[in-house]
Copies of this chain bind each other. A is one copy, B any other.
Amino acid sequence: MNSTNKIPKATAKRLPIYYRYLRYLHEDGKDRVSSTELSEAVKVDSATIRRDFSYFGALGKRGYGYDVEDLMHFFSKTLKQDRLTNVALIGVGNLGHALLNYNFHQNNNMRISAAFDINKEIVGTIQSGVPVYPMEDMVQQLKMQQIDVVMLTVPTSAAQEAANNLVKAEVKGILNFTPIRISVPDHVRVQNVDLANELQTLIYFIDHYKTDDKDSLLPLD
């Protein structure tokens, strides 16, 4: 594999989807898969799949398709699925509780291993198998437990202060579920999951969407 390849963000986002389906095929005893089959299963057109895979070198053979096990192992390494990633949850409200019960571990080698909140009723308890620490111990605990990826589900008003402390705790990545855009230094990566925005974008697409080209350009009338 060419180590100087650059891959687009859109391709990177599809890797976990490919990986998950390849695992499914492998468990099902399948040895190989065509780009057409893969395309139908993951709902990505086969030209896009071929282009995505091309960033990683020539992984398929014409007339044969892709070797399921090879490809699965390759994506497993690329996605660092060969080691467990521990993640912390910052804020155990309604959404935080839902995330604690969400099965991140099912198809992915990651799990929530610590949670933080200010609510005295749950601090010091185990929620869905995860210990809840007081918010004031966050910086120290994250450093001690060497957790560098967190999910931020605090109320909007507490988001920036929590983000500041996450920077102090030297985290590298924040999955931000709050509706505000938090400010952090450039070396900290923030990925926003804004549920109201997702819903509003969907509604916008329905109103303005007239072609069957779902992923590129949308007519606006």
A38 to B32, CA, bound (A): 50
| Cβ–Cβ contact B41 & A181, under 8 A | yes
The complex is assembled from copies of this chain, and their number is 2
Of the four ranges (under 10, 10 to 19, 20 to 34, 35 or more), the interface on chain A belongs to: 35 or more
- Of A2-10, A60-68, A114-122, the segment with at least 4 beta carbons within 8 Å of chain B is A2-10
Pull 27 A–B residue pairs with CB atoms less than 8 Å apart, ordered by A: A3-B220, A4-B219, A4-B221, A7-B217, A8-B217, A9-B217, A13-B197, A16-B200, A17-B181, A17-B197, A20-B179, A80-B203, A85-B203, A93-B101, A94-B98, A94-B102, A102-B196, A106-B196, A108-B199, A151-B199, A172-B206, A173-B206, A175-B198, A189-B206, A189-B209, A191-B201, A193-B195
CB-defined contacts of A197 to chain B, threshold 8 Å: 13, 16-17
Most buried by B among A196, A208, A214: A196
